[in-house]
Structure 1
Amino acid sequence: MTVEFTKYQGLGNDFVLIDNRQQAEPLLTPEQAQKVCDRNFGVGADGVIFVLPGQGDTDYTMRIYNSDGSEPEMCGNGIRCLARFIAELEDKAAGASHSYRIHTLAGVIVPELLPDGQVKVNMGQPRLLAEQIPTTLNSPEEQVVQRPLAVNDQNWLVTCVSMGNPHCITFVEDVASIHLEKLGPQFETHSAFPQRINTEFVEVVRPDYLKMRVWERGAGSTLACGTGACAVLVAGVLTARCQSAATIELPGGPLEIAWAGGEEPVYMTGPAEPVFTGHLG
């Protein structure tokens, strides 16, 4: 079977996009996706994203397999790439605004293509209770804000946020000095997180400008993480470290994130660019 694909990247977070509209299940297995993502023997990517038929009142469904074959609930950079890919599939005119209702395992997400080529995404409400992360760092109905977590013989103060997928955020003085490859796996597989965790290390440069590095559950160190940037802004607001709208600088570039607080949704704006097309098989 030959499967056509287009590779996209959002701030260096790269994905293989597959038109899967003809059936409700992904065309590849997790094991096949893992091979596709291999940067030495495959196409090379942080994940494979499938555009499936919509469910209920949604336009399309998004499924994604990480580079290790696991399936996350959602991916912020990935859904921006998905929106651009759908516009190409629908042959939408460049520079025009379009929005889509996308069914994901994290709920319905609404990306909007802006005239300047950026993609703005309504990421939905952040989920803040311990049972929603999930984590054992507090009682199920309590938020996890500035709670101590022992990792690598050090107590880290962490704040946990779910953007449909789980995030653990810790603020540091110098994000460049963090040994991400050592600490990331220890956070990801910590017993306090029964479904593993995405981890963001964050330096507050100004209340409207934060730097972050991320260790993604199932993908490791990546250049960008959209849901992670959203979680960082929420954690910064909850701990009075940043404004309700800020630039989040990732290794791959900046994202603009805004959250008015309370039950309001988080908005993410950033780029998504096609890289090349090809076929598998």
Structure 2
Amino acid sequence: MRVPFIKMQGLGNDFVVLDARECEIPALTADVARHLADRRLGIGCDQVIRLDPSEDDAADTRMSIWNADGSGASACGNASRAIAMLIGEPAAVQTDGGLIRVTPGDGVASVDMGAPRFEWQDVPLAYAMDTLSMPVAWEELENPGAVNVGNPHVVFAVSDCDAVQLDRLGPLIENDPLFPERVNVNVAAVESRERIRLRVWERGTGLTQACGTGACATAVALMRCGLVDRSVTVALPGGELEIAWHDGGPIVMTGAAAESFRGSFEWDEYS
């Protein structure tokens, strides 16, 4: 069976999108997702995204997300902006992390990511602790904030995010027993009250050019600490995102996303 795909990217965070809203596509498994994401033997991507008709009357479509290692993800901010550009009009999107609303623009898209969750059991953590400044450390990375923005994140404020050996410390923290569902790891340097520099180790994927939920999580964690204003620019290796959040309301993320190319593949070669 030959299956069409759309390759998309948001700030260099790239996706293979399978659009099953109007054509039949077999059920996506972890093995198929992992093979498609392989950059040498497959199409290559950070995440595989599948769109289906929504099961929720309040949503226009359903988005499911697989990481490059075949594991599932509940939310992906960059993919949400890419899907907004693909849909081409304002839409409500059902995800495992909740209902989000996307609005495409001229080369950019805005996403209402919903309200962040800060309770330890909602992150989730293995046991109760203060998520504003957690009393834990991994070498020089210490006292992170924790937040769930559809998926779990820890945020470390550092003086120089480029100096952190995130390729080494990222997987160590991601798989720590403190995080029963693993965790995304963010290291952030505050350049001013309006600007943050950020690098992210993504759960199930590794270092990426950009992470939309990481930008959201980092911004709100630093806002909680009073280190930045309620509307900030987050600069990632792949580009910049605008994040706005007012206490008790939803996070709104705005940034670029685009289609790269389209193609097709033989399903049996990847299953």
Would you call these one fold, judging by a TM-score over 0.5?
yes
Closer, same or farther: CA 122–278 of 1 in aligned 2, 3 Å:
same
The 5 Å alignment of 1:1-281 reads: 1-22=1-22, 27-56=27-56, 57-87=58-88, 98-114=89-105, 116-136=106-126, 138-139=128-129, 143-152=130-139, 154=140, 156-261=142-247, 263-281=248-266
CA distance in 2, matches of 1:198, 1:24: 33
TM-score with structure 2 setting the length: 0.94
Contact 1:24 1:52 in 2 (8 A): no
Contact 1:26 1:63 in 2 (8 A): no
Contact 2:121 2:127 in 1 (8 A): no
Which amino acid is 1:133 matched to?
V
| Secondary structure in 2 matching 1:131 | coil
| Secondary structure in 1 matching 2:218 | helix
Q: Structure 2: state its 5+ residue gaps.
A: 267-271
Aligned residues: percent identity?
Answer: 39
User: What root-mean-square deviation, in Å, do the aligned CA atoms of Structure 1 and Structure 2 show?
Assistant: 1.5
Aligned to 1:95: none
TM-score with structure 1 setting the length: 0.91
CA distance in 2, matches of 1:259, 1:225: 17
Deviations 1:69-92 (A, max 9, x none): 0010010001111122223xxxxx
Contact 2:141 2:156 in 1 (8 A): no
The aligned length equals 265
Q: Structure 1: state its 5+ residue gaps.
A: 88-97
Deviation at 1:136, TM superposition (A): 3.4
Closer, same or farther: CA 274–131 of 1 in aligned 2, 3 Å:
same
Which amino acid is 1:109 matched to?
I
Closer, same or farther: CA 24–100 of 1 in aligned 2, 3 Å:
farther
CA distance in 2, matches of 1:19, 1:267: 25
| Secondary structure in 2 matching 1:148 | coil
CA distance in 2, matches of 1:11, 1:52: 24
Deviation at 1:25, TM superposition (A): 8.1
Deviations 1:128-155 (A, max 9, x none): 100000013634xxx5011122324x46
